Structures are given as C-alpha cells and as structure tokens.
Amino acid sequence: MAFGPHDGDLYVCQYSVPGVLQFHGGSLKYRRVFARGRALADPEGIAFAQGHMYVASARHSSIVCLSLDGYMKTVTYLLSMQVPWGMAVGPDDALYVTQHPSYESGDYRDPMGVKSSEGQGQVARLAIGADGQLTESTGPAIIGNLTRPSGVCFDPAGNLYVTSMGAQVLKYAMR
C-alpha cells in the first residue's frame, strides 16, 4: 500500500478484485476500485513516481504503470523472470523492486517452495523514463542472496531497508 502524493489517499493492493482500491487518506473510508484488470493479477506492491502509479503483479512477473486517474499506460515484464513483491522509489528517482524466484511447484505463494529458493531473492533497480516507461537493469542485482524479500524502503539519508524471510530487516548504505 502507498499514499498518493497527489491526493493523500491510501491505495491498497487487492487480490480479490484484482487491482487497487482507494481509501480516503484521513478517515480511511473506502472510495472506489481505483484500477482493475487481468494485468494487475495478484498485486503485491505500489509505488508512486514522476506522476505515475506502479503496481507489481506477482502472477505475471511484471510492473504495471498507471496514470494517476487509473488508466493503464504500460506493462513491463521483468526479464529476470523473478516474482516482484515490494517497491520503493529511491533518492535517485529509480524504482527498486524486491524479487524472488518462482517456486518449483509453480506457485509463488506456496510456503513449501521457500526452501528451494533460499538466498536467491534480490533487489533490482529499474530506471524510470520521462513517459513512465521502466528499463530493467541488465547488470547484476543491486542486492542479492536474500530469502523471499518483500518490503523495501529508503530513509531520509538514502539508506535502503529490505525485509527478508526470518524476521530480518537489513540496511544497506546506498551512497
């Protein structure tokens, strides 16, 4: 979930829609289904950057770019074929995405698949173009060897924080 910088409302991923729900930022009163569709199946992370909303679709291993009025602009399929989870915009205005491999069982939600992917999660950096288009880095992951990373955020000093399975919160100096 994330607060919209343009309106202060809270935007929440919802599996049953599938899509994004919008709530009033102060009262948390439900407003509407902000965006829905097959491209948003199994939404996991939301981030706002450069006048766009980005939503991670775990089912499609993709990041969907939406306009601030809820219309789909582009879909970026991740070349790494990793399942995207959490997202945050870094101090360099790039999109940082936690990812982990899809499990051998074929279902990324299968808790039994965690053992087979232990230490294979990563944080990827995607550049954001002027039109909102994302470009996946072809180099190595920014941070690797994580077990099912999910949450990601930056502190005011620009340090990156990542949650990894096992109740770990890891801090990385990015400057």
In this structure, what CATH number is given to the domain that contains residue 90? 2.120.10.30
Q: Enumerate the β-bridge partners of residue 97.
A: 87, 124
The DSSP secondary structure of 114-126, one letter per residue, reads: TGGGTT-EEEEEE
Angle at 71 between CA 70 and CA 73, to 5 degrees: 130
What's the chain's length in residues? 175
User: Cα 14–103–144 angle (5° rounding)?
Assistant: 90
Domain residue limits at 90: 2-172
The two beta strands, 19-23 and 10-14, are antiparallel
Q: How many CB atoms lie within 10 A of CB 162?
A: 24
pLDDT at res. 131 = 87
Angle, CA of 18, 96 and 102, to the nearest 5°:
55
Q: How many domains does the chain have?
A: 1
pLDDT at 140: 53
pLDDT single digits (tens) 100-140: 876 544 555 555 554 556 777 888 889 998 888 998 765 55
Confidence (pLDDT) at 21: 97
Residues pairing with 124 in the sheet: 97
pLDDT (tens digit, 9 = 90+) per residue, 22-53?
A: 999 999 999 999 999 999 999 999 999 999 99
Q: Can you give the pTM of this predicted structure?
A: 0.87
Inter-residue long-range contacts of 79-84, CB under 8 Å, 24+ positions, other chains counted: 79/136, 79/138, 80/122, 80/124, 80/136, 82/121, 82/122, 82/124, 83/58, 83/108, 84/44, 84/45, 84/56, 84/57, 84/58
Q: First and final CA of the chain: distance in angstroms?
A: 26
Q: How many CB atoms lie within 10 A of CB 137?
A: 14
